[in-house]
Chain A
């Protein structure tokens, strides 16, 4: 069956620390993968998407980067977190509709 995994569920990190959030998909090959961020009480903002290994498109300038080292793995990173990076991060996989991971709530303190 096709599933998407995202971890960790919750993360508290100090300002200036690095970040690595991982998303993996099972049961499909060559998926289109996406990273979204959701501020409290708001809609989702598209951060990055990838249509294949090593192919990353960035939607907004920011302190974050993404990488796709394997077909079914999508990683969101930062070298130095800012307070404004706090939010709810969602990974998604596109097929007929989109399937979302369960999200990571990041609090930068």
Chain B
């Protein structure tokens, strides 16, 4: 079953612009994680935000979490062509299962 749903499904921006992706989920969570996947490759862990945290930064990444709305956002600032990839949110509940959303395909045009 899929827990998270990303929005938008696809995003195309110009290099240097910011990219914002949203994720909604349905059940209570321990934490929410964001992953990146280059075409046809494995997933790379980007950032984890715990359920008692509201915002977290890592380099050009900024993640927010609103547990009352069961939603999260990933902001990539000053995007680069190399940021082109699919981005997935995933929720981790007390059963230790990581459930993924359907992903956002980001294209950064040089």
Chain A contact residues, CB within 8 Å of chain B = 6, 32, 34, 36, 42-46, 49, 51, 59, 88, 90, 92, 94, 96-103, 105
Contacts and interface: CB of A to CB of B under 8 A. Distances in A.
A30 to B, nearest CB: 13
Contacts of B57: none
Contact of A97 (B33, B99, B101): B33
9 contacts: A34-B98, A36-B100, A43-B101, A45-B100, A46-B98, A49-B96, A94-B98, A97-B45, A102-B41
Given A43-B2, A46-B98, A103-B41, 11 more contacts: A32-B96, A43-B103, A45-B2, A49-B97, A59-B1, A94-B96, A94-B98, A98-B33, A100-B42, A101-B42, A103-B42
Contacts of B41: 102-103
Report the contact-size class of chain B (Cβ under 8 Å from the partner).
20 to 34
B96 A102 contact: no
A36 B45 CA distance: 15
Q: Chain A interface secondary structure, helix, strand, loop or mixed?
A: strand
Interface of B: 1-2, 33, 35, 40-45, 48, 88, 90, 96-103
Kindly list the 10 A-B residue pairs having the minimum CB-CB distance in the complex, ordered from nearest. Answer: A97-B45, A43-B102, A44-B100, A100-B42, A100-B43, A43-B100, A102-B42, A103-B42, A97-B48, A43-B103
Nearest to B34: A97
Given A34-B98, A49-B97, A59-B97, A88 B40 contact: yes
A83 B55 CA distance: 43
A90 B88 contact: no
A96 B48 contact: yes
